[in-house]
Amino acid sequence: MKPFIKILGIGAIKLMIPEPLYKNNYTIGYRDVDFNKNLRLSSLFGYFQDTASMNVEKLGIGVDTLLERYSISWVLTKILVEINRIPAWNEKITVETWPHKPKKYEFDRDYRVRDEKGNVIVSAISNWVLLDINTREIKKSEIISSDYPVFPFIEERALDSRIRKLRPFGQLEAVYRKVIGYSDTDVNGHINNAKYIDYIMDCFSIEDHKKHTVKSIQVNYIKEVFPGDALVIFKDISKANLIYIEGVNEADQKPAFSAELIIE
C-alpha cells in the first residue's frame, strides 16, 4: 500500500509529502465497555494499537511490509496514558496519533483522544521498537531508514511527562496466577499489549472498580510472554492513590511487565 500523501503545488512542481498525523473515528460499542458502561482501558489500548497500525501502513512501513522485507515487527515497549475523562458506551471519539523522529533503537509515538466537541479527554506517549521475529532481538532503527518516509515531524508532544523506570515502593503482595492461552496472543505470537491491561485491572475487585477510576497508567513491557507461560501478578498498595503492579514469569522468576496507576 502506498503512503497517504499531501500534494503541494509549487509552480509546475508537485511535492509529495506523507502526512504524519493520522485520525481514526470510533463509536464505542457494547463489547468495549464495562459494567459501568464506560470504555475499558484494554479497549482504549486496542484503539491505540489499531490507529498506530493504520498510521504506519499509510506511511509505507506497515506490519506486512516490514515482515516481508526484514522479518521484523513493531512492538510496544512502554506507554504512559493520562485520562481527563473516560468515554462511555455509544459515545463518538477520535483517536489521533503521530510518530516522532527515530532514535537509535526506539520510535516515539503520541496519541490524543478527542470527544465529539473536540475536547482532549485522553493523552498518551509511547515507545516502540523493531523486533526480529526469528531471533527475538531488537533491531536498530536504521534497518528501515531507506523505507522511512521523509516528512516534517510534528514536534509537539501529547504530554509533558516522561516515561520512567518503575519500581515497587513497598511490599509486593501476590494477587493471582494467570496461565497464558491462545486468546491472549497477537500477530507476533506473544501476549498482546492490551491484554496486559486486563490482567492489571483484574487485580481489583468489582467494588474497587465501583469506587475508583484510573487517572493515569504507565506500563513497561519488559520481556515477552508466550502461550503456556504462567504469570504471577503482584500488587503494591502501600501508597494512597498510587498503585504498583508487576507480572513475574513463573518459569524464570523475572518480571515480564510493570505498571503504575494513579487512581481517584
Domain boundaries, given as residue ranges, for the chain: 1-7+16-159, 164-264
| pLDDT per residue as tens digits for the range 133-191 | 999 999 999 999 988 888 788 999 999 999 999 999 999 999 999 999 999 999 888 99
Whole-angstrom Cα distance, residue 99 to residue 108? 6
| pLDDT per residue as tens digits for the range 176-226 | 999 999 999 998 889 999 999 999 999 999 999 999 999 999 999 999 999
Scanning the structure block, which residue is given the C-alpha cell 505498571?
A: 259
Question: To which CATH superfamily is domain 1-7+16-159 assigned?
Answer: Hotdog Thioesterase (3.10.129.10)
| pLDDT higher than threshold 90 for residue 246 | yes
Which residues is 247 bridged to in the sheet? 233, 257
Question: What's the half-sphere exposure (Cβ side, CA atoms, 13 Å) at 9?
Answer: 2
Query: Which has more confidence, 18 or 9?
Result: 18
Whole-angstrom Cα distance, residue 201 to residue 261? 10
H or E stretch at 44:
helix 41-58
Same fold, 1-7+16-159 and 164-264: yes
Say which range, 2-11, 16-25, 139-148, 248-257, has the weakest mean pLDDT. 2-11
**Mean pLDDT confidence for 224-231:** 96
- Predicted local confidence at residue 17, as pLDDT: 65
So what's the architecture of 164-264 in CATH? Roll (3.10)
pLDDT band at 14 (very low <50, low <70, confident <90, very high): very low
The answer to whether the CB of 244 falls within 8 A of the CB of 259 is yes
- Predicted local confidence at residue 16, as pLDDT: 60
Whole-angstrom Cα distance, residue 83 to residue 223? 26
The answer to whether the CB of 262 falls within 8 A of the CB of 215 is yes
Whole-angstrom Cα distance, residue 202 to residue 171? 19
